[in-house]
């Protein structure tokens, strides 16, 4: 069927008519909810958590010692504490230096072997080596007096007397009793005083006054088999002589290699006071006296 012209005209008119605008309303802000007049319960507070219990300190670990490996602790004696204090004090104060030399003991040993019986019969003591070195040291100090001096404050104190401290072993440790006025004593007199001090040492009778006032020290490590060592100063002294063991060694004598009984000598000295020249010269004088004891007996 054909469309009705009237309907077509009405539809066309409707399409040509302007569209009617649609009114839109802006969104209203949302108001907060009204507070309720009913009281609210307070928030519950949880109780504080208990602090953690302190941890127990760990037990100290004790080393398990196997049999034969136990240790023993003993307090230091007053004497050992004093020795440690003095030696460390010397190390911290003095400018210590050691010079060495070697000495042919053949002539002195031959003289002792030949004359010891008569010496012992006459003087009641055996002829030893330490007394010979004491005499040699006292005579050498006449030529090098700096070795017998010491520093006190800003002054150098020169002693006219030679008081030699001699290291001896005692039941309570090493001690250094003093033989006084060695520059005035003969070889037999020095040996008698050494024998007297040895008896006192064995009986543990060395007193403090026996060890006071030395100006020089002699230590003989040779009795224990020492070959060489550097002795430490005995403050306030400025020098110490170290004797060592006698061993047969090949040395050159008169352009020939021969076997001789030799000893190393060590002189530790305070370089603040004693120069190397004086130290070496002093030690060479001792060597010369020991290698030819006649020089000591004739005061040459």
DSSP string, 181-224: -GGG--HHHHHHHHHHHHHHHHTT---GGGGS--SEEEEEGGGG
Q: Is residue 157 part of a domain?
A: yes
For residue 86, name the pLDDT band (cuts at 50, 70, 90). confident
> What digits encode the pLDDT tens for the residues 241-254?
999 999 999 999 99
Q: Is residue 184 part of a domain?
A: yes
Q: Using CA atoms of 286, 287, 290, 291 in order, give the dihedral in degrees to the nearest 10.
A: -150
- The pLDDT assigned to 24 comes to 46
CATH code for the domain of 240: 3.30.559.10
Active site residues: 271, 275
Q: What is the pLDDT of residue 98?
A: 97
Confirm whether 227 is domain-assigned. yes
According to the model, what pLDDT value does residue 230 have?
93
pLDDT reported for residue 289: 96
The pLDDT value given to residue 200: 87
Residue 60 within a domain: no
What six digits make up the tokens of 245? 């063991």
Which residue(s) pair with 151 in the sheet? 156
Write out the E strands in the chain: 96-104, 149-152, 155-158, 164-166, 168-170, 173-175, 178-179, 216-220, 239-243, 246-253, 256-270
Stated length of the chain: 300
pLDDT tens profile 150-172: 999 999 999 999 999 998 877 77
Contacts of residue 187, defined as CB under 8 A and 6 or more positions apart, other chains included, come to: 127, 131, 132, 135, 296, 297
In a domain, 5, yes or no: no
Structural domain total, the chain: 1
- DSSP letter assigned to residue 176: -
- State residue 21's pLDDT score: 47
Is residue 286, in this structure, part of any structural domain at all? yes
Within-domain flag for 133? yes
pLDDT at 8 over 50: no
Residue 25 lies in a domain: no
Largest CA distance in the chain: 180
Contact in structure between 270 and 278 (CB atoms under 8 Å): no
| Structural domain for 148, as ranges | 94-297
Beta bridge partners of 243: 220
């Amino acid at each position: 069927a054909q469309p009705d012209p009237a309907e077509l005209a009405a539809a066309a008119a409707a399409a040509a008519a302007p569209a009617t605008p649609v009114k839109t309303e802006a969104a209203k802000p949302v108001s907060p909810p009204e507070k309720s007049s009913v009281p609210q319960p307070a928030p519950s507070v949880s109780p504080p958590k208990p602090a953690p219990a302190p941890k127990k300190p760990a037990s100290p670990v004790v080393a398990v010692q196997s049999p034969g490996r136990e240790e023993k602790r003993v307090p230091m004696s007053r004497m050992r504490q004093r020795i440690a204090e003095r030696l460390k004090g010397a190390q911290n104060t003095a400018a210590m230096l050691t010079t060495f030399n070697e000495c042919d003991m053949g002539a002195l040993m031959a003289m002792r072997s030949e004359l010891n019986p008569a010496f012992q019969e006459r003087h009641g003591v055996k002829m030893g080596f330490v007394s010979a070195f004491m005499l040699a040291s006292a005579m050498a100090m006449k030529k090098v007096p700096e070795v017998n001096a010491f520093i006190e404050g800003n002054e150098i104190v020169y002693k006219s007397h030679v008081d030699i401290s001699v290291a001896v072993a005692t039941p309570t440790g090493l001690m250094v009793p003093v033989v006084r006025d060695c520059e005035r004593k003969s070889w037999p007199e020095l040996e008698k005083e050494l024998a007297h001090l040895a008896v006192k040492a064995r009986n543990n009778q060395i007193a403090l006054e026996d060890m006071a006032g030395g100006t020089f020290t002699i230590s003989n490590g040779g009795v224990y088999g020492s070959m060489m060592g550097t002795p430490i100063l005995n403050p306030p002294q400025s020098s110490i002589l170290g004797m060592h063991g006698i061993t047969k060694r090949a040395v050159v004598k008169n352009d020939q290699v021969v076997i001789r009984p030799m000893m190393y000598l060590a002189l530790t000295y305070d370089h603040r006071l004693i120069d190397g020249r004086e130290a070496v010269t002093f030690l060479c004088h001792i060597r010369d006296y020991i290698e030819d004891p006649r020089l000591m007996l004739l005061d040459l």
